[in-house]
Structure 1
Amino acid sequence: MLKTILLCALLLVGAVIAAFILYGRERSWELLAGSPDRGQRDFSNNQRSPTDNDALACSPGLCADPDFKIAPFDDAPAIAIERLSQRLMKTDPLARRVDDRTDPSRARFVTYSPLMRFPDVIHLEARPLPDGRTGIMAYARAQLGKSDMGKNLERLRSLFRTP
């Protein structure tokens, strides 16, 4: 009897894993947790995740308590966002741009972990600074779990090439 229960449990687990893989890891997470794209981030309220699964980086004066600071860009906001978007797409083959591109000073991406395809969202926003340069705000957050093991901070540091 116990062997039969264990065999059934094993077959059920195997069927769930097979369905997860066959249906697609990204689509399976979306089915279970909803779309990872929850719209554009409002940087004005500076709300962070209550758990350890996000990262925030900003040019000086644009947000409180960033994980690290981003040097201002000499480009116009739209050009800075386009260059950052191109860099992200080049360095992260799993990143997909999901915003509608109506505001050229903002961009939003969904990306996935390599193996399990856990979804993360990356928000970029550029604002003109009083000195004529462009300040950048960047926020990355995991959709699932309470910890991303530093992956989003690593992702933003890589995007902005900071040690």
Structure 2
Amino acid sequence: MGVGLLPLLLSLVFPACGKMGAQGVAPPGVVDFAHLTLPKTPNKALAAPVGFTPGPNIVTPHYKVSPTALFAMVGQVAAAEPRVFALDSHPAHLQAAWVARSARANFPDVIEVAVQPDPAGGSALILYSHSIYGQSDFGVNEARVKSWLGAIAAKVAGAQP
């Protein structure tokens, strides 16, 4: 399946629109989420635990599963999403990233995830979805983060004894 005419035309201005999957998008590598700088544009959504800096749009709960189990569950959620492609993975750091492509124009968004051990036991999750191009995303990144968090919560609930 190739890229359609609209994405090819858009690729004249937005190069990554003319690519397939994760092609054309730079992998973020291991991200220092403690020093994350968010853009001032509204085309992003950050979900993180209470007290995280920068302040998240959405607060993630404490997950009562091991960090490696939560990391695997996040990967399963990402793999089940339409038009989402693996971009980067650092299992030793419990970090990964994916590219989500819009249905019509093939615009790429990047979803970055970090799982951290919670000092109280269990895990904490940071989920950051952002657009590569533009200023507005019509709420797509926030909706994606909420959807993924719901799917992750369902997987965690299914793993509980």
Which position in structure 2 is the counterpart of 1:111? 100
Under a length normalisation based on structure 2, what TM-score does the superposition of the two structures give?
0.75
CA distance change for structure 1 residues 143 and 40 in 2, over 3 Å: closer, same or farther?
farther
Q: Is this contact kept in 1: 2:131–2:141, CA < 8 A?
A: yes
Q: Is this contact kept in 1: 2:18–2:106, CA < 8 A?
A: no
Where does structure 1 differ by over 6 angstroms across 4 or more consecutive aligned residues? none
Q: CA deviation at 1:27?
A: 5.8
How far apart are the structure 2 equivalents of 1:35 and 1:106?
17
Q: CA deviation at 1:19?
A: 8.7
Q: CA deviation at 1:36?
A: 4.7
Give the counterpart of 1:63 among 34, 39, 53. Answer: 53
* Count of residue pairs brought into register by the alignment: 140
Gaps in structure 2 of 5+ consecutive residues: 152-161
How far apart are the structure 2 equivalents of 1:71 and 1:154?
17
Once the two structures are superposed, the pairs formed by residues 67-106 of structure 1 within 5 Å of their partners are 67-90=57-80, 92-103=81-92, 105-106=94-95
Q: Is this contact kept in 1: 2:47–2:128, CA < 8 A?
A: yes
* 1:50 equivalenced with 2:56 (yes/no): no
CA distance change for structure 1 residues 64 and 19 in 2, over 3 Å: closer, same or farther?
closer
The code of the aligned residue for 1:51 comes to T
Which position in structure 2 is the counterpart of 1:9? none
Q: Is this contact kept in 1: 2:46–2:128, CA < 8 A?
A: yes
Which position in structure 2 is the counterpart of 1:132? 121
CA deviation digits over 1:124-153, x for unaligned, max 9?
A: 101111111201011011001111111000
How far apart are the structure 1 equivalents of 2:58 and 2:7?
41
CA distance change for structure 1 residues 138 and 19 in 2, over 3 Å: closer, same or farther?
closer
RMSD: 2.6
Q: Is this contact kept in 2: 1:124–1:137, CA < 8 A?
A: yes
Under a length normalisation based on structure 1, what TM-score does the superposition of the two structures give?
0.74
CA deviation digits over 1:78-109, x for unaligned, max 9?
A: 2101101101221x221111214442511111
Larger radius of gyration: 1
Give the counterpart of 1:35 among 25, 35, 42. Answer: 25
How far apart are the structure 2 equivalents of 1:26 and 1:127?
31
